[in-house]
Amino acid sequence: MKFATKVIHAGIEPDPSTGAIMTPIFQTSTYVQAAPGDHKGYEYARTQNPTRTALERNLAALENGTDAICFSSGLAAQDAVIKLLQTGDEIVSVNDLYGGSYRQMVRVYGQWGLKSKFSNLYDANNLESAISSATKLVWIETPTNPMLNIVDIQAICAIAKRHGILTCVDNTFASPYLQNPLDLGADIVLHSATKYIGGHSDVVHGCLIVKDPGLAARLRFIQNASGAVPGPQDCFLILRGIKTLHLRVERSCENAERIAYFLKSHPKVAKVYWPGFEEHPNHEVAKRQMKLFGAMVSFDLVENTEANARTILSSTHLFSLAESLGGVESLIGHPASMTHASIPKEDRLKVGLTDSLIRLSVGVEDADDLINDLEQALQQ
């Protein structure tokens, strides 16, 4: 079954009691049993819910996995992965990643004795020197947030496997339509389904997808014990969003390509970060492991002051100033003060995340209108 068919049909059947083509919202907290342990596969809604089950089957198919576990947010999904570890264990991560991921690793789990090391993994060979005897998890984000760096998933996973280390790939920026890390050797794929998978800026959700049944069982135990589950209405909204995932992402990528080249030629723009450029350091890796180059674009200004960035951020009309990404509408953001404010400034500057960097999540509007909006904002 090809991707465009999977998003509509994989794991989804009409409701057997009514024939409803859309999966019903099973808004219930518990399920009646004929006798203790004699039930229809569902006991309590923290553990299982039929709407959630349909979504999990669909997500597993989209990432070519065998199982998916849905969570109340992307960070709740990350939390479950980290709970696979023990005090004294170490995470090796990319040095350019979502601020919330950094915050959870360092400020939440650091106080319990988990160590996090942030390294330049855009050259996969650097992983060998970053690994220590305590390393139990390699955390990859690709494309990264917000510098749009590319990690060679296959190469990183091969090194991690030789050392017996788990790999988790945050695939949020790419979506399952553009990239499938399990096929490249990853053990776990994470999505903030709030973003491209949901796609309509109306629900917060997260998921993990795996191939190994034993690993899935461990993650399900952690989820049930910790309780970070999504509600059935949220699962219904994600299922609804998935049906147009391929259409939305393809259009957004087309728009992003035009915008990236527009910004690249603009006299007031110093640098544009987008993996589709041939001069991007890992452009060839992106070509190999992604279907398209994504709909996220970041750029810095010639006069790179925070004041100039803030003027642009406040001057767009179609690009809405807001956190998040991956919706049908285009968004503009300031990572230094918004999504990445929890990362110390000296660490941000090391990877090029300046106070004037602007991040775009390109939506599905008309590309000409979006370019005109950016042009008038840059003229401010």
Tell me which amino acid residue 250 is: E
Question: Catalytic residue at 248?
Answer: no
Q: What's the rounded Cα separation, in Å, for the pair 294 and 296?
A: 6
Question: Catalytic residue at 52?
Answer: no
Q: What's the rounded Cα separation, in Å, for the pair 71 and 105?
A: 18
Phi-psi region of 294 (alpha: psi -120 to 50; beta: other; left: phi over 0): left
Quote the DSSP letter at residue 285. Answer: H
Catalytic site residue from 195, 211, 348, 359? 195
The answer to whether residues 120 and 282 touch, using CB atoms and an 8 Å cutoff, is: no
168 beta partners: 139, 188
Pairing of strands 115-119, 166-170: unpaired
Catalytic site residue from 52, 79, 98, 136? 98
Tell me which amino acid residue 6 is: K
**Alpha-carbon distances of 326 from 56, 243, 249, 265, 362, rounded to whole Å:** 20, 15, 8, 25, 8
Question: Catalytic residue at 15?
Answer: no
The answer to whether residues 370 and 319 touch, using CB atoms and an 8 Å cutoff, is: yes
Task: Name which of 121, 145, 136 is nearest 281 in CA terms.
Answer: 121
299 beta partners: 272, 358
Alpha-helix runs per DSSP H in the chain: 3-9, 50-62, 74-82, 99-103, 126-130, 153-162, 175-178, 213-226, 232-242, 245-264, 283-289, 306-313, 345-350, 367-378
Provide Rg for the chain, Cα atoms.
21
Question: Catalytic residue at 46?
Answer: yes
Pairing of strands 188-191, 269-273: unpaired
Catalytic site residue from 67, 79, 96, 170? 170
The pair of three-digit structure tokens given for residue 16, joined into one six-digit string? 């057997």
Catalytic site residue from 42, 46, 117, 268? 46
Q: Which residues are catalytic?
A: 46, 98, 170, 195
